[in-house]
Amino acid sequence: MMRDLTGQVAWVTGAGSGIGQAAALVLARAGMRVALTGRGRDNLESTADLVRAAGGEALVAPADMGMADAVQRAWEAVHGGLGRCDVLVNAAGLNVPQRGWSEITPSGIDAVVGANLNGPFYASRAVLPTMRAQGGGLIIHISSWAGRYVSKLTGPAYSAAKHGLVALSESLNQEECGHGIRSCCICPGEVATPLLEKRPVPVTAQDRGRMLQVEDLGETILFVARLPNSVCINEILISPTWNRGYLEGIKL
């Protein structure tokens, strides 16, 4: 039986747009109180307005996920305002246009690894004491197809960070399962998110329409969140049926 999420608390990072926003909305519609974290307060407030318009409760706690102190302050605001965390969704992420080995800069590496790997590390570490005290909790990470298959399209920093996120997730299961804490790493193929704007080669509207949509990931996150506490989905690899990586003649 799928569990009832009414009244539980979800902390969603990257909640200002894309997959994070979709996750916040679908979890709020399922009855969860949601805390929203990301770099831009205005975008977070827009998501909060959508949550409240749907009858949900939202708390805004901005932070640059690549900065440990900022993530800790955001968590303190979440815990102070909502008192617990039943589900953490690590959906924040970014990439840079200059991403190949011949182009990427140290600052680009720091930005990509900071958001995609360090941020989930900081947020997971922050919530663990509370989840242990509660006797359980769920952490969902949004990795990538690039977290399983190295891709020139995404570049070495992004691929390395997302591979690291898969390992981070499994390490949580290894160490925290005895506390009732479970971790799921979702590895989607191409998703039509604002991150596509950073692609060196523009993506056509037609191609965007055939990719996974943020709502697809929102429903996937909801499915994982509603599973019984005794069930751990360690990893989900999900792609659009029209997978450009499989098609000959498609330049990724």
Q: Could you write out the DSSP letters of every residue in 107-167?
A: HHHHHHHIIIIIHHHHHHHHHHHHHHHHT-EEEEEE--GGGTS--TTT-HHHHHHHHHHHH
Catalytic residue among 122, 149, 158, 246: 158
Q: How many structural domains are present in the chain?
A: 1
pLDDT score of 195:
78
Q: Does residue 245 sit within a domain?
A: no
Q: Does residue 252 sit within a domain?
A: no
Q: Does residue 4 sit within a domain?
A: no
Q: Are 34 and 56 in contact (CB under 8 A)?
A: yes
Q: Does residue 66 sit within a domain?
A: yes
Alpha-carbon span 204 to 237, nearest angstrom? 24
State which residues form the domain around 61. Answer: 9-238
Is residue 179 very low, low, confident or very high in pLDDT (cuts 50, 70, 90)?
very high
pLDDT tens for each residue of 80-118: 999 999 999 999 999 999 999 999 999 999 999 999 999
Alpha-carbon span 12 to 21, nearest angstrom? 8
pLDDT score of 252:
46
Residues 6 or more apart whose CB falls under 8 angstroms from that of 30 comprise 5, 6, 222, 225, 226
Active site residue 122: no
Which pair of structure tokens corresponds to residue 87?
């589900």
Q: Residue 226 sits in a domain of what CATH number?
A: 3.40.50.720
Q: At which residue do the structure tokens 């909801």 appear?
A: 222
Q: Does residue 3 sit within a domain?
A: no
If we measure between CA atoms, which residue out of 118, 141, 33, 39 comes closest to residue 82? Answer: 33
Q: Does residue 247 sit within a domain?
A: no
pLDDT score of 58:
98
Evaluate if residue 16 carries a pLDDT over 80.
yes
H or E stretch including 238?
A: strand 235-238
